[in-house]
Amino acid sequence: MAAGGVVGLLAERIRAGECLFTAWVGLPEATIPELLVGYGFDTATLDMQHGAYDVATAIRGIAAVALMHKPTIVRVAVGDFATASRMLDHGAAAIIAPMINSVADAKAFVSFTKFPPIGDRSWGPRRVLTLTGLDHPGYLAAANSFQLAIAMIETREAIAALDDILAVPGIDGVFVGPSDLAIALTDGATVDPHSKAVDEALHHVCARAKAHGKFAAAYCFTGARAKELAERGFSLCSIASDALLMRGAALAELKAAH
């Protein structure tokens, strides 16, 4: 088992050079991420930004995924770094923070997700101690290394500040939100996550992350796109979402029935 138990698996596998595929879950029912990781996803991302997860349902979701011996990622709402700390206390393996557009944003994010001397995260581990198998001193000494802080890159400002964001101690990786980035790069003219401009930005983000010794991740709408980005050097890719997967399966079966 990884250092940090099931919680540490995400960091261990990414650092070993693997690309992990995450289920993206917005429906706040713990059995959904549990089932998806049981079907073979490496991890599940619980979405508190655009999904319906709140603190209570996210805590239950983390526990349900852990029952399948898989780690959980949580995407918090914009600027909700206090919730990021609470999710780490309850065993999240990583936090994805949206709209990290500057060094100041990155430092604020780190301050809530890393213990001193890197950040200023307050002490209050809950379920994470059970999931890691660590005692208090052991967890304090190791948590910064295996609970990951992932900054979302989804605006012109973030692209311009990318190297500075990546240079912030405690930022472990960056995550591209292609739809928001498409909107930003076209000044609101279109939302095309597969445009040439977005694809060029993905290449740039991945290259700069590697140059800083960190990793790149991205939201992918299909398994084929996830495979493509994995082959291009990304370390973490989503595949659709719970709602999109259900929609696709439902439409396919209804078409077959008719």
Instruction: Judge whether 222 and 215 are in contact, CB under 8 Å.
Output: no
d(CA 43, CA 40): 9
The active-site residue out of 50, 69, 136, 194 is 50
50 a catalytic residue: yes
Q: Which residues of 138-168 are buried (b: 16+ CB within 10 A; e: fewer)?
A: ebeebbbebbbbbbbbbbeebbebbeebbeb
Non-local CB neighbours of 91 within 8 Å, separated by 6+ positions = 6, 7, 62, 63, 66, 72, 126, 127, 128, 130, 131, 132
Q: Which residues are catalytic?
A: 50
